[in-house]
Amino acid sequence: MTQKTLSPRAWAELFLLGVIWGGVFLAARLALNEVGVLTAVAHRTFWAALVLWAAVLWLRLPIPTSPRLWGAFLVMGALNNLIPFSLLNWSQLHIESGLASIFNATTAIFGVLVAAMFFADERLTARKLIGVSLGFSGVALAIGLENLARFDPRALAQWAALGATLSYALAAVWARKALAGLAPQVAAAGMVTCSALIALPLAWIVDGPITLALSPVTWGALAYYSVIATALAYLLYYRVLAMAGSGNLALVTLLIPPFAIALGALVLDEALPPRAYLGFVLLGLGLLILNGRLRTRR
């Protein structure tokens, strides 16, 4: 990971990104009261694609025409959008939005393991192994040891949320291999477009015809979900990446759950079991060690 010093401006934008993505879980849950899991994904990717292509045109960036590159966008869209969005949406039908956000924070944990499998310069070190071990201990605690082998909807929903983070980790590897050197705005627009092209027909088949006759609350949730928390958040993400580096940017995974938990409690009247908070503390320690902020001795 590239480690840079966080300026006050970088901290502010990192904090803003955490707030925006913390609200994703509430917005998704509100939308799911009226639309299906895949329909929510279709809305999120379709409207986000329109905004991102507008940004590409505004910046006068070249639009890719290579079939190979669009094939890479297709894989990236499935790994970074379609699969994780669908799994997280379905999981939120059975678990609290705050708990889903805690599991989402394991993206960095899986990212370290997957990167070590594919890249020689991302090998596992003693520090990384300690961070990963603490992270997975926190996940096990949050799930509850008694629920690890159960197959009821709540237990399966927790595993689905973890599956989403694994998909994000695989997407990061794919982006490094297939999209290196591409303008981030173009990469984001391309992958979200391919996600929408898959999600729209899938949603129609699984959830039924997509209707625009939705309540104001649902439209508000979908607008936040797609325009603010997807399109604008992607643009902010790459801005913070340029200022702070990938190592510091990973800290956003620690900022998201507190906001998601607070919104879930205030709006949805959710209450998490104490073990979920303890699990998040362990997970947070693991992430800080991976980030290099908590140095360990041999």
The amino acid that residue 124 corresponds to is L
User: What local confidence, expressed as pLDDT, does residue 2 receive?
Assistant: 44
Residue 6 within any structural domain of the chain: no
Task: Give a yes or no: residue 4 inside a domain.
Answer: no
Would you say residue 3 has pLDDT above 50? no
- What's the predicted TM-score (pTM) here? 0.87
Model confidence at 193, pLDDT cuts 50, 70, 90, reads very high
pLDDT at position 295 is: 55
Burial of residue 173 (number of CB atoms within 10 Å: 0-12, 13-18, 19+): middle
Instruction: Calculate mean pLDDT across residues 252-267.
Output: 86
What is the tally of structural domains in the chain? 1
Q: What is the torsional sign of CA 264, 223, 172, 184?
A: negative
- Please, are residues 46 and 226 in contact by the beta-carbon 8 Å criterion? yes
Q: What would the mean pLDDT of 82-107 be, rounded to a whole number?
A: 91
Average pLDDT of the chain?
85
Owning domain of residue 85 = 11-291
Q: Is the CB of residue 158 less than 8 Å from the CB of residue 143? A: yes
Q: Is residue 257 part of a domain?
A: yes
Q: What radius of gyration, in Å, describes the C-alpha atoms of the chain?
A: 19
CA pair distance 153, 131, nearest whole angstrom: 30
**Does the structure show a pLDDT above 80 at 294?**
no
Q: What is the pLDDT of residues 149-184, one digit of tens each?
A: 667 888 899 899 999 999 988 988 888 888 878 888
Averaged pLDDT, 266-277? 85
Residue 132 CA to residue 289 CA, distance in Å, equals 9
pLDDT in tens, 204-237: 999 999 999 999 999 999 999 999 999 999 888 8
Check pLDDT > 80 for residue 99: yes
Residue 46 lies in a domain: yes
Q: Quick check: is 296 in a domain?
A: no
Residue 1 pLDDT exceeds 80: no
Q: 1 lies in a domain?
A: no
Considering the domain boundaries, does residue 230 fall inside one? yes
227 lies in a domain?
yes
**Type of residue found at 148:** L
- Output the six-digit token pair for 35: 């639309």
How many Å apart are CA 141 and CA 75, to the nearest integer? Answer: 33
What string of H, E and C letters represents the secondary structure of the chain? CCCCCCCHHHHHHHHHHHHHHHCHHHHHHHHCCCCCHHHHHHHHHHHHHHHHHHHHHHCCCCCCCCHHHHHHHHHHHHHHHHHHHHHHHHHCCCCCHHHHHHHHCCHHHHHHHHHHHHCHHHCCCHHHHHHHHHHHHHHHHHHCHHHCCCCCHHHHHHHHHHHHHHHHHHHHHHHHHHCCCCCHHHHHHHHHHHHHHHHHHHHHHHHCCCCCCCCHHHHHHHHHHHHHHHHHHHHHHHHHHHHHHHHHHCCHHHHHHHHHHHHHHHHHCCCCCHHHHHHHHHHHHHHHHHHCCCCCCC
Give me the pLDDT at residue 297, please. Answer: 45
Range from 18-32, 92-106, 135-149, 248-262 carrying the lowest mean pLDDT: 135-149
Question: Can you tell me the distance from the alpha carbon of 3 to that of 23, in angstroms, rounded to the nearest whole number?
Answer: 27
Who wins on pLDDT, 37 or 273? 37
* Arithmetic mean of pLDDT, 107-123: 78
**Rounded Cα gap, residues 107 and 169, in angstroms:** 6
pLDDT at 246: 62
Q: Say what the alpha-carbon torsion angle 33, 38, 43, 46 is, to the nearest 10 degrees.
A: 170
- Tell me what pLDDT residue 75 has: 95
pLDDT at 296 over 70: no
